[in-house]
Structure 1
Amino acid sequence: MSSAEFSAPPDDGAGALSAVLIEVLAAESAVAAAEARRTRALARAGHLALHEMAGQRASSRASELAMREVASELAAATHLSDRTVQAQISRAMVLTDHLPATLDAWEAGELSRLHAHAIMDAATTLPVERRAEFDLLAVATAEGVSPGRLRSRLAMLAESVQPTTLTERHRAGRARRGVRVVPGENGMSDLIATLPTVLAVAVLDRLTQQARAIIDAREERSATTNADVRAGDCPPLPAVDGPTSASPAVPIEPDTRTMDHVRADVLADLLLTAAPDADPTRTDDGVGTLGAIRARVQVVVPALTMLRPERENANPAELVGHAPIDADTARRLAHATRVPWDRVITHPVT
């Protein structure tokens, strides 16, 4: 690209910047207005689907099918997935039906899409009858505030208009605590724990502190090793006449795990090896029996996968009832387990 293609900088830098700022703000306002109009159109599409069901017997299944049909039409026209459009319709209906002030401010360019979605997310925690009041207060709160800062303020604002106390709602919320596994791809899964917020934040903080200690120790060892090498402190190897039977040292693979990696590894290690503090089997004589309980999984490993790694895709190992797992993990389990394996012979085709 030649230098002639670049426009010369204006003499009045401040004035030029001011003009650019005005142009950016005008574009932002136009984008917000267009997005708000699209939201209104999506909401009308959702109401059309519900209107089609007005003369029929009401049922959640029928309403869902009608909504899917409308979403499918819009998805084909906009080149989006049906699920994405259906979610957009649902959010649009919440905004138009329960948060009209937010939608008006968005269309006027006073709020961005991120502001509007932050208000909507906070409003969904409220009963329907309290959302109108929250809507007006939220628009006033959002003025001049970034979306990130707005979310924390909206959480406090939503709390102030709740019809019940947080203590009452927390008692009900505790009934939903639990742990579940969501299978993912590539032999990975999400372990999700629903906990009281104080405990969840404390768990993450402890994992972070432990991971930081591991990473710091790793960096200190690396720095010490490098300093010794630079100072020539490593003693020379003794001279040996003739061949030696000693095998060469196996190089230690450097630990390059990130903070997230270490946190995940520490979490798995703690849950699989430690005993809970609240152990009802504990006695005055010592620890209880919960710490002696070991995790159990059932794995099916084709013999060819164990013997011929190149056939891993054709004959993958399987964590029974869940998903395929990689051959390396299957081999480590086979090597580490003390429980005898059951040999099952199956027909190669049927």
Structure 2
Amino acid sequence: MNTKPGGDAHDDNVDGVDAVAAGLAAEYAAAVSAIATAEAHAMSVLARAQAVGLERVAEIPRSAGREAELPLRALAAELGACARQPDRSVQRRMNDAHTLVNRFAASFEALAAGVVSVGHVRAIVEHGVKLTDPEVRAAFETEALERAASTTPGRLGPQLARLVEQVQPTTFAERHKVARKSGGVWVRDVEDGMTELLLRGPAVPVHGIHDMITHKAADATGAGAAGGNIVDSRTLDQVRADVLTEMILTHRIDTETGEGLGDGHGGLASIRATVNV
């Protein structure tokens, strides 16, 4: 409704809201830029800590074995204690910061200037680290920073994945052959007596493993429901974990008794299933 003779209250309102929104947006952008600058400062400290740690490691005889890692762990523990952060997380961040500062200097400078965010920088490093040729990596970084100026970190990642494929001097088959050497299995302790088992390997067999245990878990829960046995309240993820654990440790799942489909506390142990191993 127009409440002023000859005027337009609706337009004035819109202008007022736009002015307020613009002011808030500018203030928010300035705050985000300041956070990026502070993050760059923290990364600079972490990178220096990593450099000091590597120097100390170099002074230790190679025969020291795992003791050679102590300088880095000690520094991470010291920094973590002061910042109230887990030392393992700090040590990982030290390594990441050292990579950023020394191999992606332009991205670090952009972060310090508040031009890009930590998310942008992480995407650039994640994809750019695959490029081993310094000149190719520098060209990639220049293009990546230009794109980062006009998009979000989430949208930047897929763009950079395609960009790496375009500038990569080696073929996918050659890179995959090298990447296979990084395969392995690790464990990571989490809370309440639980542990994660991490597997890194070629995509096809790893997806095949996940697909196989998914089918076995679905068959097991389906057979239990059809047989009218005790209803299992576990999620599919929990059933998958039970199936994989039992298959690895015992190499079998008893399709008659349900043995191997539970953890001894009810659950899948009460389900009779038809599973082909």
Fold equivalence (TM over 0.5): yes
Q: CA distance change for structure 1 residues 79 and 264 in 2, over 3 Å: closer, same or farther?
A: closer
Question: Which of 150, 155, 163 is 2:156 aligned to?
Answer: 150
Pairing 1:66-81 to 2, within 5 Å after superposition: 66-81=71-86
Q: CA distance change for structure 1 residues 264 and 19 in 2, over 3 Å: closer, same or farther?
A: same
Q: CA distance change for structure 1 residues 41 and 268 in 2, over 3 Å: closer, same or farther?
A: closer
Q: CA distance change for structure 1 residues 141 and 197 in 2, over 3 Å: closer, same or farther?
A: farther
Letter in 1 for 2:175: R
The question of whether the paired residues in 2 share the 8 Å contact of 1:36 and 1:106 is answered with yes
Q: CA distance change for structure 1 residues 65 and 257 in 2, over 3 Å: closer, same or farther?
A: closer
- Residue 21 of structure 1, CA deviation: 0.9
Could you tell me how far apart the structure 2 residues matched to 1:266 and 1:52 are? 46
- The SS at the match of 1:328 is coil
Could you tell me how far apart the structure 2 residues matched to 1:28 and 1:109 are? 8
The question of whether the paired residues in 2 share the 8 Å contact of 1:37 and 1:107 is answered with yes
RCO higher in 1 or 2 (8 Å CA, sep ≥ 6)? 2
Q: CA distance change for structure 1 residues 69 and 192 in 2, over 3 Å: closer, same or farther?
A: closer
Deviates more, 1:72-81 or 1:23-32: 72-81
The question of whether the paired residues in 1 share the 8 Å contact of 2:40 and 2:112 is answered with yes
Q: Does 1:47 align with 2:47?
A: no
Could you tell me how far apart the structure 2 residues matched to 1:187 and 1:53 are? 33
Letter in 2 for 1:120: V
TM-score (norm 2): 0.66
Give the aligned partner of residue 118 of structure 2. Answer: 113
> Which of structures 1 and 2 has the bigger CA Rg?
1
- Residue 128 of structure 1, CA deviation: 5.9
Q: CA distance change for structure 1 residues 53 and 294 in 2, over 3 Å: closer, same or farther?
A: closer
The question of whether the paired residues in 1 share the 8 Å contact of 2:57 and 2:72 is answered with no
Could you tell me how far apart the structure 1 residues matched to 2:61 and 2:147 are? 39
Could you tell me how far apart the structure 1 residues matched to 2:204 and 2:244 are? 18
The question of whether the paired residues in 2 share the 8 Å contact of 1:187 and 1:326 is answered with no
Give the aligned partner of residue 30 of structure 2. Answer: 26
CA RMSD of aligned residues (A): 4.6
- Residue 78 of structure 1, CA deviation: 1.4
Give the aligned partner of residue 274 of structure 2. Answer: none
Could you tell me how far apart the structure 2 residues matched to 1:295 and 1:166 are? 37
- The SS at the match of 2:39 is helix
Give the aligned partner of residue 17 of structure 1. Answer: 21
Give the aligned partner of residue 227 of structure 1. Answer: none
- Residue 267 of structure 1, CA deviation: 7.0
Identity fraction in percent? 34
The question of whether the paired residues in 1 share the 8 Å contact of 2:57 and 2:69 is answered with no
- Residue 99 of structure 1, CA deviation: 0.3
Question: Which of 152, 163, 167 is 1:161 aligned to?
Answer: 167
Letter in 2 for 1:328: H
Cα shift readout 1:119-166 (whole Å, capped 9, x = no counterpart): 122233232634333322321232322222222222222233333211
- Residue 118 of structure 1, CA deviation: 1.6
Q: Does 1:65 align with 2:104?
A: no
Letter in 1 for 2:74: E
Q: CA distance change for structure 1 residues 295 and 210 in 2, over 3 Å: closer, same or farther?
A: closer
Pairing 1:1-350 to 2, within 5 Å after superposition: 12-52=16-56, 56=59, 59=62, 64-127=69-132, 129=134, 130-174=136-180, 182=187, 190=196, 192-198=198-204, 200-201=206-207, 258=235, 260-261=237-238, 295=252, 327-328=264-265
Letter in 1 for 2:76: A
Could you tell me how far apart the structure 1 residues matched to 2:186 and 2:54 are? 35
- Residue 97 of structure 1, CA deviation: 0.3
Q: CA distance change for structure 1 residues 132 and 63 in 2, over 3 Å: closer, same or farther?
A: farther
Could you tell me how far apart the structure 2 residues matched to 1:79 and 1:181 are? 26
Could you tell me how far apart the structure 1 residues matched to 2:128 and 2:210 are? 27
Q: CA distance change for structure 1 residues 76 and 147 in 2, over 3 Å: closer, same or farther?
A: same
Aligned length: 242
Cα shift readout 1:20-70 (whole Å, capped 9, x = no counterpart): 11111110001011111111122122223344567x466586763322332
Q: CA distance change for structure 1 residues 18 and 41 in 2, over 3 Å: closer, same or farther?
A: same
Q: Which runs of 5+ in 1 are unaligned?
A: 1-9, 222-250, 273-292, 297-324, 334-350
Letter in 1 for 2:118: R
Letter in 1 for 2:154: G
The question of whether the paired residues in 1 share the 8 Å contact of 2:242 and 2:263 is answered with no
Q: CA distance change for structure 1 residues 98 and 184 in 2, over 3 Å: closer, same or farther?
A: closer
Could you tell me how far apart the structure 2 residues matched to 1:49 and 1:177 are? 26
- The SS at the match of 1:126 is coil
